[in-house]
């Protein structure tokens, strides 16, 4: 599953620089996550870095993008090839 940033985001900008896939960007009102680039840090780290640094806990899994660990790993390989 890709992650998403909810409207509880306070625009603190700590998540964007830690994303190894450059999936996080400044949206119109809050930061957003591109689900095509989000691998939940599979292939890079043991846990999503954005979730670990978020001070308001506003980055849940996006129920619209169901992906297995294997699918996330394939996406990681595609993005890094």
- The domain limits of the chain are 16-79
Which pLDDT does position 23 carry in this prediction? 98
- For every residue of 28-70, DSSP letters joined together read SSSEEE-TTT--TTTTT-SS-HHHHH-SS----B-TT----HH
CATH of 16-79, one of 3.30.70.20, 3.30.420.40, 3.40.47.10, 3.30.590.10: 3.30.70.20
Which pLDDT does position 1 carry in this prediction? 78
Tell me the pLDDT tens digit for each residue of 29-69: 999 999 999 999 999 999 999 999 999 999 999 999 999 99
Q: Which residues contact 53 (CB under 8 A, 6 or more apart)?
A: 14, 15, 18
Where does the pLDDT of residue 21 fall: very low under 50, low under 70, confident under 90, or very high at 90 and above? very high
């Amino acid at each position: 599953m890709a992650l998403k940033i909810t409207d509880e985001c306070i625009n603190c900008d700590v998540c964007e620089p830690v994303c190894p896939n450059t999936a996080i960007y400044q949206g119109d009102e809050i930061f957003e996550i591109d689900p095509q680039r989000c691998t939940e840090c599979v292939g890079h780290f043991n846990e999503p870095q954005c979730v670990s640094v978020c001070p308001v806990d506003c980055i849940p899994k996006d129920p619209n993008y169901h992906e297995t660990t294997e699918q996330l790993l394939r996406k990681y390989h595609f993005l890094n090839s």
